[in-house]
Amino acid sequence: MNPLALMALALQSIRQNWLRTLLTLLGIVIGVSSVIVMTSIGQGSQQQIVERMSSLGDNLLIVTPGSRSFGGVNLGAGSAGTLDVRDVQRLQQELRSAQYISPLVRLNAQIVGGVGNWSGSVQGVDAQFPEIRRWVVATGSFFGARETQARAPVAVLGDTVVRELFPDRDPVGERIRIGNVPFTVVGTLQAKGSSAFGGDQDDVVFVPWTAAQARLTGRLEVAQVMVSAPAASMLPDLEQEVRAVIRRSHRLNEAAEDDFSIRNQTEIMSVVSETSRALTLLLGSVAAISLLVGGIGIMNMMLVAVTERTREIGLRVAVGARPRDILAQFLSESVVICVTGGLLGAAFGMLVVWVLQSIVGIAAVVRADTLIVALSFSAGVGLFFGIYPARQAARLDPIEALRYG
Amino acid sequence: MSTAAAHVPADARAAPRSAARPLLLTRGLSKVYDSGSAVVALDGVDLEVAAGEYVAIVGESGSGKSTLLHLLGCLDRPTRGEYWIGDAQVSTLGADELADVRNALLGFVFQNFQLLPRLSALENVMLPLTYDRGRRQVDPRGAAVSALERMGLADRMDHRPTQLSGGQQQRVAIARALVNSPPVLLADEPTGNLDSATAKEIMAVFDSLNVGGTTVVLITHSADVAAHARRVLEIRDGRIVRETRRGES
């Protein structure tokens, strides 16, 4: 029989048992659509994570102070306070292969100005900081090297702070107070949104790190030093260089352990994106199980159909059907059901993804390969779970079959 | 699939045939069912049926007449013995070739009609043409329509089997058996489920088909039905025990 005749035969028998077919179809629809929704969500969040991670800056080393124990209790990374202004200066003077260097001085303070006050994060950074962390100036400008050197009381506001304190006007030129210290706003930044770890990146005020030390913290320590390389391939060399400079600065001898640590941003990024890829795979496999369950439903239905149509099979054999005609008849029926279910499931899955994106606001990306994999998988399910019932049908003894029922 | 028609012995379909060579020929045809203890259903049957004959096989239930018909219809395989249709030794054919023989050379009529309930009369009649791999029918629908018209069912083509009387259903089944113009028509108690008036009607159909040149082999336990045939074989315990020939009438 030609494929067209087989299709017609399959559709005919589907029409005759439309309710049963519809229910079985539902299993495949749910399976395929959940595969599509799950992998789309996984891939969407993966893409989002990679985007946000790269907004942290890439090719970046982050130097943090080591830990310190107090009465047997380790106070954790950064507690030693072993990074200070001297280390920063030596790094700035001695590093050859670094592209940008910026220390970070962190504090929380009450910010007063504009329409009220706001408790936010204040970060003392270098003029090169926007290049490292990919901040884009919205109005005014970022402070430069000269303000940094002069410990100038100038501030650049993140988008959240602007909206809280200056909802109605451009704050450039306005005066604010951080703690009790007056600063002048010289610029505002474009919003970056939430970070890869969920925090609001825009809830921040940047000031020159020298000014933060001199006017706000009154201490020489810095929380971290960011060093960026022109290319990812240079990171290992740069890491060695940074380690050597700080060890010299700290006068550590050969045997002593580092009293600081260096993290590689690119490594963290690849770990995170690896994790989210694994998550996508996990979501997809869980969804694939439901497709498998749908396939078992198909098999069940086809077995019932073979039993029900035993006499029909016997008759078809008696009028000249070959075993392979019977096999093809039942196989094409299960494949038609599965492919129909796959198409409906793909449409439904994309609808759900669209709703998630545009109404719920969950990042989800339907990729063409997801669709192709889901559809061919459902056709495969039809073949796999259809083959056993179809073989049962093709093996029927015609005399027994004609006597059946 | 298109090469399958090659297995069908071409001369077997050519009717009328020379009387020299029988259309159906069996030698020592035996069937033994091996269900626990061996049951001999058919025990070395030698049978020759010439083209154009009208044969009735009679016998009590369990005598082996159904087994013989199934073997003649290629629905079952003999345990021993040979079976020839025309020049082709059917007993050695594989499953696919047997399917082609059933499709092209044999028409089957069953006691309980065996129509597919969800198909119309016309679709039922077209069923064998679906498996007509030789593509001998250029116009399957036309062939089915004319077969139904020959059975006097021109106005019942779109009816489902349940909408037809028993006699009409059996005539649809006969139309289906004839649609591929097979040289041999095999019937398994064709009037067993019909009242006597309808049975006469159906037997008249077989008579006229035989007059038209179709070889008819039927099994029955009704003497009235057997009386239509010109040759009656009585079978008992798997053997042909008596053969009666009627003079040409």
Instruction: List, for residues A314-337, the tens digit of each pLDDT value.
Output: 999 999 999 999 999 999 999 999
Q: What is the mean pLDDT of residues A271-296?
A: 85
- The torsion angles phi and psi of B88, rounded to 5 degrees, stand at -95, 130
CB A279, CB A42: distance < 8 Å: yes
CB-CB neighbors (< 8 A) of B70 in chain A: 399
Looking at CA atoms only, how far is residue B176 from chain A in angstroms?
A: 9
Q: Is A321 left (phi over 0), alpha (psi -120 to 50) or beta?
A: beta
What is the Cα–Cα distance from A381 to A387, expressed in whole angstroms? 10
Strand partners, B184: B106, B215
> pLDDT 10s digit of each residue in chain B, 249 long?
444 444 554 444 444 444 457 999 999 999 998 878 888 999 999 999 999 999 999 998 889 999 999 999 999 889 999 999 988 898 889 899 999 999 999 999 999 999 999 899 999 999 999 898 876 667 889 999 999 999 999 999 999 999 999 999 999 999 999 998 999 999 999 999 999 999 999 999 999 999 999 999 999 988 999 999 999 999 999 999 999 998 654
Tokens, residue A335: 């494949």
Cβ-based neighbours of A66, under 8 Å, separated by 6 or more: A77, A80, A82, A258, A259, A260, A261
Task: Kindly state the helix (H) or strand (E) to which residue B121 belongs, with its residue range.
Answer: helix B121-130
**Per-position b or e across A41-51, b if 16+ CB within 10 A of its CB:** bbbbbbbbbbe
Task: Kindly state the helix (H) or strand (E) to which residue B203 belongs, with its residue range.
Answer: helix B196-211
Nearest beta carbon to residue A1 from set B110, B130, B180: B130
Q: What is the mean pLDDT of residues A7-24?
A: 86
The residue of A12, A315, A317, A397 whose CB has the most chain B CBs within 10 angstroms, and thus the best one to mutate to test that interface, is A315
CB-CB neighbors (< 8 A) of B127 in chain A: 315-316, 319
Q: What is the pLDDT of residue A90?
A: 87
Given a cut of 70, whether residue A68 has pLDDT beyond it is no
Is there a cis peptide before residue B16, judged by omega within 30 degrees of 0? yes
Q: What is the pLDDT of residue A72?
A: 61
* Short-list A6, A105, A4, A37, CA closest to A321: A6
Q: What is the pLDDT of residues A240-255, one digit of tens each?
A: 888 888 888 888 877 7
The residue of A17, A18, A310, A322 whose CB has the most chain B CBs within 10 angstroms, and thus the best one to mutate to test that interface, is A322
At A259, which amino acid appears? D
> B110 — contact with chain A (CB < 8 Å)?
yes
CB-CB neighbors (< 8 A) of B114 in chain A: 311, 314-315, 318, 402
Q: How far is CA A69 from CA A15, A219, A237, in A?
A: 77, 21, 31
Question: Is B114's CB within 8 Å of A315's CB?
Answer: yes
CA atoms within 13 A on the CB side of B135: 6
DSSP B4: G
Looking at CA atoms only, how far is residue A321 from chain B in angstroms?
A: 6
- Burial classification of residue A380, based on how many CB atoms lie within 10 Å of its CB (0-12 exposed, 13-18 middle, 19 or more buried): middle
CB A286, CB B70: distance < 8 Å: no
CB A208, CB A154: distance < 8 Å: yes
CB-CB neighbors (< 8 A) of B180 in chain A: 320
CB-CB neighbors (< 8 A) of B175 in chain A: none
DSSP A393: H
Given a cut of 80, whether residue A82 has pLDDT beyond it is no
Nearest beta carbon to residue A312 from set B4, B116, B128: B116
Task: Give the confidence band of A74 by pLDDT, cuts at 50, 70, 90.
Answer: low
CB pairs under 8 A between A and B: 60
> B141 — contact with chain A (CB < 8 Å)?
no
CB-CB neighbors (< 8 A) of A318 in chain B: 73, 75, 102, 108, 114
Nearest beta carbon to residue A5 from set B110, B130, B176: B130
Which residue do the tokens 């002069």 mark?
A150
Q: What is the pLDDT of residue B248?
A: 54
pTM metric for this prediction: 0.70
DSSP B151: T
Question: Is A316's CB within 8 Å of B131's CB?
Answer: yes
* Short-list A345, A297, A339, CA closest to A34: A345
Nearest beta carbon to residue B95 from set A318, A323, A399: A323
Tokens, residue B177: 């058996």
CA atoms within 13 A on the CB side of A253: 1
Q: How far is CA A340 from CA A34, A164, A297, A352, in A?
A: 16, 54, 15, 18
CB-CB neighbors (< 8 A) of A321 in chain B: 99, 130-131
What is the Cα–Cα distance from A13 to B114, expressed in whole angstroms? 18
ipTM > 0.90 (yes/no): no
**CA A383 to mean position of chain CA atoms:** 35
* Short-list A108, A57, A62, A109, CA closest to A83: A62
